[in-house]
Amino acid sequence: MSRAGIAFVAGALGLLASGAFTLPAQAQATDGAKLFAQHCAACHQVAADAPQGMGPNLRGVVGRQAGQVKGFAYSAEFKKALAKKSWTAELLDKWLEEPQNVAPGTYMMYKQADPAIRSAIIEYLSTAK
Ligand code: HEC
């Protein structure tokens, strides 16, 4: 390789290391566990037998009926809107986009406009059985 070639490669590596090339949102959003930790863990646990937080434990939530975590006091609004509903990936996506649209008056104070972040987190939750 020529001197100029080496200098070019070194320069490009320097740019990479400095973060000048940022990953597209899609690639960043694939780490669902990390996103869960950042976006949800302040209120929700997933570990089996973890104590309830501000929100109910989410282990196994994908596919289960809403509002079934024992010992968690769901709001009346949540119970009314989600009675007999199960958490499919589609319903979870709507929920995370705007919980107030799914259960007006719910206590969950969080919403996520980015579909890539929502789907990465839902994917992660579907593995937490
Ligand atoms: C600020 C606290 C807070 C954050 C942050 C939060 N939630 Fe919640 N979540 C709640 C509360 C409170 C409830 C119960 C709502 C009610 O009773 O009205 C809830 C309920 C839920 C439920 C219903 C569970 C069941 O047992 O039926 C799901 C699913 C859920 N949250 C997912 C998430 C996910 C995924 C995130 C992160 C992207 C998240 N939440 C972020 C507070 C939070």
Counting atoms of ligand 1 from 1, which one is nearest the CA of 112? 38
Q: Whose CA is nearest to atom 34 of ligand 1?
A: 40
Mean pLDDT confidence for 38-48: 95
Residue 54's pLDDT band, with cuts at 50, 70 and 90, is: very high
The token pair that represents 8 in the structure block: 């070019």
The pLDDT tens digits for 6-36 are 555 544 444 444 444 555 555 444 699 999 9
129 pLDDT band, cuts 50/70/90, is confident
Average confidence (pLDDT) over 1-8: 55
Token representation of residue 56: 């109910």
> Which pLDDT score is estimated for 18?
45
Q: Is residue 85 pLDDT above 80, yes or no?
A: yes
Pocket of ligand 1 (CB under 6 A): 39-40, 42-44, 54-56, 58, 61, 66-69, 74-75, 77-78, 87, 92, 95-96, 106-110, 112, 121
**Paired tokens of 59:** 């282990």
CA angle 114, 119, 124 (to 5 degrees): 130
